Structure 1
Amino acid sequence: MLINMNNQDINIKFPKGHTAFLVIHGVGEQSPFETMDYFAQNLIKFLEARNLQIKLEHLITKRKLSTGYPWTESFVRISSANSQAEDLIDIHEYYWAPDTENKISIPEILQWAERTLQGTIDFYSRKENKHLLEELLKDKQGKGIFIFRLRWLTIFLRIFNLIFPILRLIVWLILLLLSPFMSGRFLQPAWQLSKEIVTPLLVNFVADVAIYTTTDMKSPYHWIREKILAESLTMLKELLKDKQANYDQVILAGHSLGSCIAYDTLNLLCLEASLAQDLGKSLEIDKITGLISFGSPLDKIAFFFREMGQHHQYIRRRILEQLNSFRIKPLYIWKLPYLNVNPVQCQLEQIQWVNYYHLQDPISGHLDYYEKLDNVKMEYPSKWGVEAHLGYWTDPNFYKDIARRFL
């Protein structure tokens, strides 16, 4: 779906009730509160552009980690400066960047990219998925980007893997020679600094995704994924049961890999709710009204996961399908004479899912693997690559459409 939001005029008053956004950052080098800053600032710009007087507060509250250990959360609250009403919008952040920082090698990233590329090719090569590929290729601009972006990424990583040791050695020697004249960040060990200098930002982006997609329990990275999801789910449940804020609605907003974390968090919540006698009513899951994914690689990761279930392992494959069944299109559920009753009963039907993507963004895309969501193509001017991948944060039309749907 393409929305010409530039020509829309949305007349709003300050939203009624108590709304919480849980914003989850994506790949790359992130700093604490950076995601919250971007989202809150641009939401405020949108509200102020409609002549609303805004009050902004920094608040703190006690939370618990998945281990039960207490910590203090900082978040920001947006409310109306001209009203005595208690309406509010709280922006919370789930910060997971330290869990994946400098944890994976370049060769391992290359292996991940090649597996993902092959999984994507296999998916769209299947006879039953031919119509999906034809639909995607109708857009001439999207045709070249879709067909070649993963392939070019893999080629780039292969070349970089070959020249990386030589390039790093050269930079290390230069740093050693110049060390008497260096100051500031250049005072750190030359070998570590050489890695930072010669490693492109795109490689760091892919590294986070490669770690998070590890489902092999024997992998040294599996515990990282488990920790990220455990804390994300705990944070969401803390917001749902927050008696002081008493939220009317909670909306998850995930950028890039953060959208995958948001999706997997909801999938885990479905599992937990299905085990409860009241199907999650005690968890107050009905308060979750939205899932916003932007710059999302969810389809690519789904293709990667799907290849994990071998054709002849029909019991294992069906178990994997049912454990990861949130909003999966029935078309992609393997037909079997057995195991057709899904024990995961909770499907969070009340959630409105909106996926924003940009054709110049190499990580995002139109999500085809899932159902009951709106795919919205963004058209802010941008070059291919990181610029397009980060452009959602500052695009006024992005916040305009979020306000139209949720506020």
Structure 2
Amino acid sequence: MPSKPAISRQAVIVIHGIGEQHPMDTLRGFAEAVAPPNQNPDKPAFFSKPDHFSDTFELRRLTAHRQRNTFKTDYFELYWAHLMTGTELLDIVWWARAMFFRRPSSIPKRLRWLFWLFWGLIVLACSLIILFNYREACLPTSLRCLFQTTWFKPTVSVLFAVLSLSVNIILLTYLGDAVRYFTPRPRNVPERQKIRKAGVALLRQLHDARAPDGSNLYDRIILVGHSLGSVIAYDILRLFWNEISPKLDVQPTDIDTIEAAASALEKQEISLATYRQAQFTCWASQYKTNHSWRISDLITVGSPLAFADLHLANNPAELAQKQREREFATNPPRTELPTAKQLKKLINKDKTAWFSYPASDDGSKRTLHQAAPFAMTRWTNMFFTNDYVGGPVTCFGPGVENKKLISQAHNTLPFASHTHYWDKAESESLHYLQAKMQLTFAAMPPNNTKTE
């Protein structure tokens, strides 16, 4: 394998978060922020071209031509807002029941203040209702007169109507998307299916696309998911892996290397940077073949996966069980001890744990199991300290690089920074994102990369 992969063309897929998103808004803002400026000042950083892989005419791809700081790159948007419609208040009620009617100790510490805020508002609302209906007994004469003024009741009614409308818009238009995606009730399953199906179809088409000479059109794919889009990115990554992993042609020696690195990382014998280099090396060993895995990087931004034990399971123990059963992919992939029968087929008899299995009788070929996409795909997760939608995704294993950031321009209120990760005012966040996308590389990733 060469010292650095030869990338002819790469694709970046951006997946937006919750809300009434307009097609191309997220993609254009993202590309304008991360795409290096064109070396020719008379040309834009990228060109807007037809997106032949999308099933909607609302989308286009943004193409940045090869130059000093980037390979030739096509930016795509997985737009899904039109696939999640019809949210009702009852959906929010079901979700609130699951989230807030539980022991406080089962709420992650980062979100516990929201739990108490919710119950504080419930108590306040109940107190106001009691006070309004039983004011004769609860209030002194001076305050009871206030309720008897001609302007009091109309003013309260208007304020209540405005507040109710605002809450309904926020809950149904924004929070409703996440509630329905995370809650597999029967009426939500079709929407979840349509979103995931669209994402897997896009990955499949990018993998199948061919250049005029018959080679792969895209040598490398980067997935970037923001907010709920990061959960969708994780889902389509593992679902597409289930489809393509049996076809992969990975040499047993390359599998040995990544399995050894994963085992060493679990034992804290190597650094995270060394493990990520092993992932990249394993990916680079096969990316040029026709049946290859070309997703080199998953980047999650302000991701609710930080609270997967709330969103994907009922508690941490249930999430861990599903990870052991390979329902959810971890990083590093979950290993197991080989059986005596399997051990006989192994060429390397010194292996003590693995996430692959023999694909031939003589053991000369092996296949990575169905929950091992992170044998080849690096996972980077970034979050602002005041963005309580996201956080560190430590529950998916020590192979995730978690980066804690302090917002420079949107740090006054909780959640204020959530939609500003590639804002040019957030220089630290933007530069970190650009570095981890690694739109070009002069050499293999160094061993001394510092992470947090």
Q: TM-score w.r.t. structure 2 length?
A: 0.61
Pair 1:378 & 2:442 matched? no
Pair 1:360 & 2:360 matched? no
1:2-401 equivalences in 2 (<5 Å) = 17-44=8-35, 47-48=36-37, 53=41, 55-63=45-53, 73-79=59-65, 87-105=71-89, 107-117=90-100, 146-153=111-118, 197-201=166-170, 204-216=173-185, 219-244=186-211, 246-274=217-245, 276=247, 284-307=291-314, 321-327=325-331, 344=370, 346-371=372-397, 372-381=399-408, 382-394=411-423, 395-401=426-432
Query: For the Cα contact (< 8 Å) 1:362–1:384, is it kept in 2?
Result: no
Q: Deviations over 1:87-142 (max 9, x none)?
A: 4121100111122234231x431431342356795657xxxxxxxx8xxxxxxxxx
How much identity, in percent, do the aligned residues show? 21
In structure 2, distance between residues paired with 1:162 and 1:100: 36
Structure 2 vs 1, CA of residues 363 and 309 (structure 1 numbering), >3 Å: closer, same or farther?
closer
Pair 1:402 & 2:433 matched? yes
Q: Deviations over 1:228-273 (max 9, x none)?
A: 1011111122122222482221100000000000001111122223
Structure 2 vs 1, CA of residues 123 and 104 (structure 1 numbering), >3 Å: closer, same or farther?
same
Structure 2 vs 1, CA of residues 122 and 61 (structure 1 numbering), >3 Å: closer, same or farther?
same
Letter in 1 for 2:180: I
Q: Deviations over 1:343-400 (max 9, x none)?
A: 6254341211111111211211111211211110111232333421112130333332
Which residue pairs with 2:343 in the alignment? none
Count of residue pairs brought into register by the alignment:
333
Query: For the Cα contact (< 8 Å) 1:120–1:300, is it kept in 2?
Result: no
Letter in 1 for 2:420: G
Letter in 1 for 2:88: I
In structure 1, distance between residues paired with 2:100 and 2:198: 30
Structure 2 vs 1, CA of residues 345 and 26 (structure 1 numbering), >3 Å: closer, same or farther?
closer
Q: Deviations over 1:144-171 (max 9, x none)?
A: x5431344356558978999xxxxxx89
Structure 2 vs 1, CA of residues 159 and 259 (structure 1 numbering), >3 Å: closer, same or farther?
farther
In structure 1, distance between residues paired with 2:102 and 2:13: 31
Q: Deviations over 1:169-220 (max 9, x none)?
A: x89x97xxxxxxxxxxxxxxxx9x997655353663321111001224xx21
Structure 2 vs 1, CA of residues 349 and 277 (structure 1 numbering), >3 Å: closer, same or farther?
closer
Letter in 1 for 2:238: N
Query: For the Cα contact (< 8 Å) 2:330–2:371, is it kept in 1?
Result: no
In structure 2, distance between residues paired with 1:62 and 1:287: 19
In structure 1, distance between residues paired with 2:12 and 2:112: 35
Q: TM-score w.r.t. structure 1 length?
A: 0.67
**Can you give the 5+ residue segments of structure 1 that lack an aligned partner in the other structure?**
1-14, 125-132, 134-142, 164-169, 175-190, 334-339
Structure 2 vs 1, CA of residues 197 and 308 (structure 1 numbering), >3 Å: closer, same or farther?
closer
Helix, strand or coil: the match of 1:225? Answer: helix
Which residue pairs with 1:10 in the alignment? none
Which residue pairs with 1:5 in the alignment? none
Letter in 1 for 2:63: R
In structure 2, distance between residues paired with 1:79 and 1:146: 43
In structure 1, distance between residues paired with 2:314 and 2:8: 44
Helix, strand or coil: the match of 1:75? Answer: strand
Letter in 2 for 1:286: W
Q: Deviations over 1:294-321 (max 9, x none)?
A: 111013244333228998xx9xx65994
**What displacement does 1:276 show?**
4.6
Query: For the Cα contact (< 8 Å) 1:119–1:303, is it kept in 2?
Result: no
**Can you give the 5+ residue segments of structure 2 that lack an aligned partner in the other structure?**
1-5, 129-153, 251-285, 337-353, 357-368, 440-452
Query: For the Cα contact (< 8 Å) 2:322–2:328, is it kept in 1?
Result: no
- The two structures, once aligned, show a CA RMSD in angstroms of 4.5
Structure 2 vs 1, CA of residues 356 and 341 (structure 1 numbering), >3 Å: closer, same or farther?
closer
Letter in 1 for 2:235: D
Helix, strand or coil: the match of 1:306? Answer: coil
In structure 2, distance between residues paired with 1:29 and 1:162: 34
Query: For the Cα contact (< 8 Å) 1:23–1:93, is it kept in 2?
Result: yes
Query: For the Cα contact (< 8 Å) 1:270–1:347, is it kept in 2?
Result: yes
Deviates more, 1:231-240 or 1:269-278: 269-278
In structure 1, distance between residues paired with 2:297 and 2:76: 15
Query: For the Cα contact (< 8 Å) 1:357–1:377, is it kept in 2?
Result: yes
Which residue pairs with 1:7 in the alignment? none
